[in-house]
Structure 1
Amino acid sequence: MSVEYEGLTFDRLGHASIRIETEDGQVVYVDPWSEVLADAPGDGDVVFVTHDDFDHYDPEAIEAVGGTDATVAAYEGIGTDDLGGVVDLPLEGTLTVDGIDVRTLPAFNDPDGDHVDDDGDPFHAEGEVIGLVLTVADVTVFVPSDTDFLAHHESVSADVFVPPIGGHYTMDRHEAADFARSVDPDLVLPVHYDTFEAIETDADAFADELESDGIRVDLF
């Protein structure tokens, strides 16, 4: 299902993979993954990659969605030698990629929190993942990626918020709802849930909770 907002069309391809298209036809992908792609559209102008987990950094999927002259912009901590020329995205900073203003910020699991493995290590350690604030056709889109809701996130506001809600490896739906209230977006589009048993959640309850606060949620 596609969701429209202020001239942008959003599609959740599955898991954490999303596609954004502007009225002028610019197409942006974030974290495409072969497992959830129905075909090889080859229409992407810009492909963003937030970290090197297999379900986020997938060179075959990047090739499948990217057009002939697509720009790939990936977190600089990823080994991208197999892709050729890539725009490096810093752990924290700002830059412009093909007319899209980009702010990057750290994303990770709190080592003292619940999202740690059997050895007590966070599934996503500090320095391994970035979140993205993209300004696409004058709309700010915040994709925090695989993370908990962290203190530095409280400085971020956006028109559209795309949080993970599945828990286990990332924030759960309750934490994501608190995060959404902080961001104060016009629209919330949740991702990263129900793909595996470990991240199954009640997305409808998440939507109901935020909509009771007057925040629009689309389970796209």
Structure 2
Amino acid sequence: MTIRHDGLLVDWLGYATTRIEAPDGTVVYLDPGRYGVLSGEWTPPGEEAPPHPAPQDDYPKDGDLVCVTHDHHYDTDAIQRVAKQEATVVVYEGVDAANIDRDVTPVDELPYEVVRVTGEDHLSAAGVECWSVPAYNDPDGPRAGPDGSVTHPPGFGCGFLLSVADVTVFWPGDSDALDGFAELDVSLFLANIGGTVVSDRREAAALAERMDPDLVLPVHYNTIDILTTDSGAFGADVAGRGVPVVLDEN
């Protein structure tokens, strides 16, 4: 199902993969791939299939801009499936193939214009304004172990705030629901609701209320066991707070 928002066409394609198309045809992908969601190999976690997009298996190669937040979402097969030959690929500076236990191409060997960003950068590419923002699990927060260890420590990844056809879209990446996110001017909030190693549905709903976007679309849930959640309960929670929300599921 394609979501329409202020002239944008938005599709959650599974895991963190989100496709955004502007009225002029410009296409942006956020964190494409992993777990077979773009190669037709994804299988649902558990005995009963939870709400989640069906896996894709094609090579659209229509992406003008591809953004990658951190190592866990770096999938070079997926990038090559979605990116145009002349695409710009924006990759957080901490992404390093040497630290990834999967078969991926090093960032500097990708056959595209590659731009590395820190946690606080701004660039323009393919007619899209792109800001990176700090995103992480707080060592003193709800994702931390007894020793303060977290899956996504500060400096491990980033989130992205985009202005696509003058519509702001925010994807926090793999992060807690940080206070700073509520200060952003966001029209479409791609809420991370999977819990366990990222914000859960209750934390994301509370953030959505503080952020007060024009629309909330949850993504990055029900792909693997540790991200299973009740998206319907999230939608009801957000709607009950007076914030428009939509689900993109099969």
User: Cα deviations across residues 114-156 of structure 1 (Å, max 9, x unaligned)?
Assistant: 3135864111000011111100001000111100012322321
Which residue number in structure 2 is paired with residue 48 of structure 1? Answer: 67
Higher mean displacement: 42-51 or 109-118: 109-118
- Of the candidates 72, 80, 88, which is equivalent to residue 89 of structure 2? 72
Q: Is the contact between residue 147 and residue 171 of structure 1 (CA under 8 Å) also seen in structure 2?
A: yes
Q: Is the contact between residue 157 and residue 182 of structure 1 (CA under 8 Å) also seen in structure 2?
A: no
Give, in whole Å, the separation in 2 of the partners of 1:144 and 1:59. Answer: 21
How many positions carry a matched residue from both structures? 218
Which residue number in structure 1 is paired with residue 99 of structure 2? Answer: none
1:101 aligns with 2:129: yes
Which residue number in structure 2 is paired with residue 30 of structure 1? Answer: 30
RMSD over aligned Cα atoms: 1.4
Which residue number in structure 1 is paired with residue 150 of structure 2? Answer: 122
Which residue number in structure 2 is paired with residue 177 of structure 1? Answer: 205
How much does 1:93 deviate? 2.5
Counterparts of 1:11-26 in structure 2, within 5 Å, are: 11-26=11-26
Which residue number in structure 2 is paired with residue 59 of structure 1? Answer: 76
Higher mean displacement: 4-13 or 75-84: 75-84
Q: Is the contact between residue 141 and residue 160 of structure 1 (CA under 8 Å) also seen in structure 2?
A: yes
Which residue number in structure 1 is paired with residue 109 of structure 2? Answer: 82
Q: Secondary structure at the match of 1:36?
A: coil
User: Cα deviations across residues 155-175 of structure 1 (Å, max 9, x unaligned)?
Assistant: 212000001101001000000
Which residue number in structure 1 is paired with residue 41 of structure 2? Answer: none
Give, in whole Å, the separation in 1 of the partners of 2:199 and 2:192. Answer: 7
Q: Is the contact between residue 145 and residue 163 of structure 1 (CA under 8 Å) also seen in structure 2?
A: no
Q: Is the contact between residue 31 and residue 49 of structure 1 (CA under 8 Å) also seen in structure 2?
A: yes
Q: Secondary structure at the match of 2:218?
A: coil
Higher mean displacement: 11-20 or 205-214: 205-214
Which residue number in structure 1 is paired with residue 188 of structure 2? Answer: 160
Which residue number in structure 2 is paired with residue 151 of structure 1? Answer: 179
Which residue number in structure 1 is paired with residue 242 of structure 2? Answer: 214
* Consecutive unaligned residues in structure 2, runs of 5 or more: 39-55, 97-106
Give, in whole Å, the separation in 2 of the partners of 1:19 and 1:25. Answer: 12
Give, in whole Å, the separation in 2 of the partners of 1:216 and 1:17. Answer: 21
Q: Is the contact between residue 117 and residue 123 of structure 1 (CA under 8 Å) also seen in structure 2?
A: no
Higher mean displacement: 10-19 or 79-88: 79-88
Q: Secondary structure at the match of 2:70?
A: coil
Alpha-carbon distance change, 40 to 119 in structure 1, aligned in 2, over 3 angstroms: farther
How much does 1:23 deviate? 1.2
Give, in whole Å, the separation in 1 of the partners of 2:191 and 2:161. Answer: 12
Give, in whole Å, the separation in 1 of the partners of 2:229 and 2:247. Answer: 12
Q: Is the contact between residue 47 and residue 66 of structure 1 (CA under 8 Å) also seen in structure 2?
A: yes
TM-score normalised to structure 1 length: 0.94
Letter in 1 for 2:13: L
Q: Is the contact between residue 73 and residue 87 of structure 1 (CA under 8 Å) also seen in structure 2?
A: yes
How much does 1:70 deviate? 1.2
